[in-house]
Structure 1
Amino acid sequence: MSKHFQLDGNYVRYEFSEFGGKFSPVNYDMPIPTGSEVLLKVDFCGVCHSDVHVHEGYYGLGQGRKLDLGERGIKLPVTLGHEVVGTVVSMGEKVEEVSVGQQKLIYPWIGCGECSVCQRGEENLCTKPGSLGVFKPGGYSEYILVPHQRYLESLGSLNPANASLLACSGLTTFSAIKKIQPVHNEEFVVVVGCGGLGQLAIKTLVLSGIENVIAVDVSEEKREIAKSSGAKFAFDPRDEKIAELVAEAGNGNCIAVLDFVGNDQTMEFGLGVLRKGGKFVAVGLHGGEIRYPIPFLITKAISIIGSYTGTLGEMKELVEFANKHDLVNIPVEIRPLEQAESAVEDLSAGRVPGRIILKNG
């Protein structure tokens, strides 16, 4: 039996029943949490580029090839939304550490909990994932069921709307940045793609004491935002001398590239500007393939690192970090939950300079 009161009636999830299809409001019976489960009313849910890819149903692999997400275990219909802040309304009989009325940030990258990867605390890399908003219903919904209280984190003094971004955008950048540290004072970090993730990355780098940041983006508006976030330089990658400009600005000492776009062109550029011993961290999923001379990889001792979201432990670190700094104060647009479909469309079309956050009620 669940603890406290049980909500009666129905609730609405905004879901699509075919990849690339329309979103529809669908009524469901209110779930009854049992065991370690916790039911939360969704307060805020960020709209992430991963939502765009899942809605499309594929990742581009280059040369016209696609990775079909349906074949990777994503079952239709899908209720997107993995950047969720919600309020606890009910819980199963085994839950002891949370109370009705508490507002929590939800860790969505849930694994099987049993394999060696999960036992290492890397549930985000589990090969049998149950990620909320991907494999299980997410936050484009009035209510969300979370399988265990350990996936709930208190917000502290954070703005709850902006704090929702920490579950994916913030966590993804935080985990990627940890992979390039330590960065010494004279070294430079290049951030490719200055949308929501890139902006958070620049702020996190600067607040971590890494002040030599070079931003690269095709949008003049986003380059200006990048500079206001702390980037020392901002360049347009369409400039035919972009590699020379970045190398000169960084004094030939670019130790790391964080690529939040992830296509053939950005990877070729990023690998080309790294110094010896540099690290290229691929985060964006726009698609393509890597072509890089193996002798360069070896003689320059370059590391190519894929970075996918982050661990539960890293999210806890990030929330503490965000409470000490003004991290999530980035441009956001609040839209009602009912506009989930247009939000995903606008993000896909590149019409969002910062981030969209959906508000329920």
Structure 2
Amino acid sequence: MRAARLHAYGQPLVVEEVPTPEPGPGQILVRVQGAGFCHSDLHVISGELPVLPRMPLILGHENAGVVEAVGPGVRAVAPGDPVVVFGGWGCGFCDSCVEGAEQLCATPGWVGLSNYDGGYAEYLLVPQERYLVKLAKLEPRAAAPLADAALTPYRAIRLARPYLQPDHAALVIGVGGLGQYGIKLLKLLAGVPVIAVDIDETKRAVARECGADHVLDGRDPEVLAQVQSLSGGGVTAAFDFVGSDATLELSLAATRPRGKVSQIGLAGGTAKLRVLQTVGFEVAFEATLWGTVKELREVVALAESGRLTPIDVVYRPLDEINQAKEELEHGRVGGRIVITP
């Protein structure tokens, strides 16, 4: 099969022929129809997040496709079934795994980010049938972003639900693919006013289309004062989809006492919590991660019902994966790039 593999940090992905996996007992071979290209991949490819235990490795942790073959003992899916692949694979035995939060496993085996190859290939070997969510209506390539771009903000918002109040605004910083889903999910799940902040004019326009009530330019030196004015003294929940020093500072400063700040982005920033200077009293801070299999099922249900509408998707063939990487690096992606091997 053809696959795009990373041979060394800081180098382009190499599209080459590799052996096609064969499913063993309990395993499933999925013919990949869509694999989302994520900002996390940029951090890994550059070496900023040197998490890979081996190279060459096939990246790609946001995947969907059609079941090609199953190994002995598989009962939940059959060849021909369209599926979304949950990517936060765990050991199955630690506290996080047995509680259903495998993405928080003490020894994670995330697809495309560990010893397991990912979805930037024609086929993907999935070790357990419980990692597959069957599709009833959506095409797999259109559903691929649900596995991360939608799942990640869904979990962050679900965990922040006790802080979200219909008469107080929430803040979304960064309106890329995850931020766009974040705005949609805040309106859908909590019905709160949403203030969106981004430095890109095009993404600010997209934020309005996604349902943001107020849209602000992150480069404006008065952006904090604007958020505080629009929210009547501060938001009850802030969702930072960037994660830089500047955005984390804004998130903390803009959140009212007894509110919550959720960091989702991984831009290398440091959250500096100093009461009475950078953050108010009883403000909770949490760095959320991905989501669970159950939460992915819920996201798929929302999308297939039409309640969660899609973000803009640009499809690229496997041979153009390095061009897709450059587009994402230079901020030329409005929603999500999906590779179609």
TM-score (norm: length of structure 2): 0.95
Distance 1:322 1:341 in 2: 29
Contact 2:27 2:126 in 1 (8 A): yes
Contact 1:83 1:168 in 2 (8 A): yes
Q: Displacement of 1:202 after TM fit?
A: 0.5
Contact 2:35 2:61 in 1 (8 A): yes
In structure 1, the residue matched to 2:143 is: 163
In structure 2, the residue matched to 1:37 is: 27
In structure 2, the residue matched to 1:243 is: 224
Alignment size in residue pairs: 339
Match of 1:80 among 32, 36, 59: 59
In structure 1, the residue matched to 2:336 is: 355
Give the AA of the match of 1:102: D
Distance 1:77 1:208 in 2: 41
* Deviation string, structure 1 residues 202-253 (Cα, Å, up to 9, x no partner): 0111122424000000011101110111000000011111111111111224
* Deviation string, structure 1 residues 52-107 (Cα, Å, up to 9, x no partner): 11111224xxxxxxxxx2xx453211211111111111111111121111111000
In structure 2, the residue matched to 1:321 is: 302
Match of 2:111 among 125, 129, 132: 132
1:286 aligns with 2:267: yes
Q: Aligned-residue CA RMSD in angstroms?
A: 1.5
Q: Which runs of 5+ in 1 are unaligned?
A: 1-10, 60-68
Contact 2:146 2:296 in 1 (8 A): yes
Alignment of 1:99-248 (within 5 A): 99-135=78-114, 136-182=116-162, 183-248=164-229
In structure 2, the residue matched to 1:64 is: none
Give the AA of the match of 1:218: I
Moved over 6 A (4+): none
Distance 1:311 1:108 in 2: 9
Q: Which runs of 5+ in 2 are unaligned?
A: none
Distance 1:293 1:275 in 2: 14
Match of 2:17 among 27, 30, 33: 27
Residue 240 of structure 1: SS of its match in structure 2? coil
Quick check: 145-154 or 75-84, which moved more? Answer: 75-84
Distance 1:116 1:330 in 2: 35
In structure 1, the residue matched to 2:317 is: 336
Contact 2:96 2:105 in 1 (8 A): yes
Q: Displacement of 1:197 after TM fit?
A: 0.7
Distance 1:357 1:92 in 2: 28
Contact 1:211 1:231 in 2 (8 A): no
Residue 138 of structure 1: SS of its match in structure 2? coil
Distance 1:203 1:359 in 2: 25
Distance 1:85 1:180 in 2: 28
Q: Displacement of 1:173 after TM fit?
A: 0.6
1:268 aligns with 2:249: yes
Distance 1:181 1:196 in 2: 21
Distance 1:221 1:227 in 2: 10
Quick check: 325-334 or 313-322, which moved more? Answer: 325-334
* Deviation string, structure 1 residues 119-163 (Cα, Å, up to 9, x no partner): 111110112111111111111101000001111101222243221
Residue 18 of structure 2: SS of its match in structure 1? strand
Distance 2:276 2:229 in 1: 24
Give the AA of the match of 1:43: Q
Q: Displacement of 1:326 after TM fit?
A: 4.1
Quick check: 48-57 or 217-226, which moved more? Answer: 48-57
Quick check: 43-52 or 156-165, which moved more? Answer: 156-165
Q: Displacement of 1:30 after TM fit?
A: 2.1
Distance 1:21 1:132 in 2: 20
